[in-house]
Chain A
Amino acid sequence: MATSDIEIAEHNLQHHFADMDQQRETSTFGMWLFLVTEIMFFGGLFCAYLVYRATYYEAFVAGSQTMNIWLGATNTAVLICSSLSMAMAVRCAQTDKRKMMVILLLITIMFGAAFLGIKGVEYHEHWVNHQFPGPNFQFEGAEAAGVNPQNVQIYFSLYWAMTGLHALHMIIGIGLVTWIVIAGARGAYSPDYYSPVENVGLYWHFVDLVWIYLFPLLYLISKKHGG
Chain B
Amino acid sequence: MSTEEHRQHVIPSSVYVGIWATLMVLTGVTVFASFIELGDWNIVLALVIATIKATLVVLFFMHLYYSSKLTKVTMIAAIFFLFLLLALSMTDYLTRGWITNPVR
Contact = CB atoms under 8 A, between A and B. Distances in A.
A90 to B, nearest CB: 8
Contacts of B24: 77, 80
Consensus secondary structure, chain B interface:
helix
B1 A192 contact: yes
Q: How large is the interface on B (under 10, 10 to 19, 20 to 34, 35 or more residues)?
A: 35 or more
Contacts of B23: 80, 83
Given A43-B86, A51-B90, A87-B61, A25 B68 contact: yes
A149 to B, nearest CB: 22
Interface of A: 5-6, 9-10, 19-21, 24-25, 28-29, 32-33, 35-36, 39-40, 43-44, 46-47, 50-51, 54-55, 69, 73, 76-77, 80-81, 83-84, 86-88, 91, 94-95, 191-192, 201-202, 205-206, 208-209, 212-213, 215-217, 219-225
B58 A209 contact: yes
A54 B87 CA distance: 13
Contact of B20 (A6, A84, A224): A84
B62 A220 contact: no
**For the complex of A and B, 3 pairs with smallest distance between CB atoms:** A216-B46, A220-B34, A84-B20
Contacts of A223: 34-35
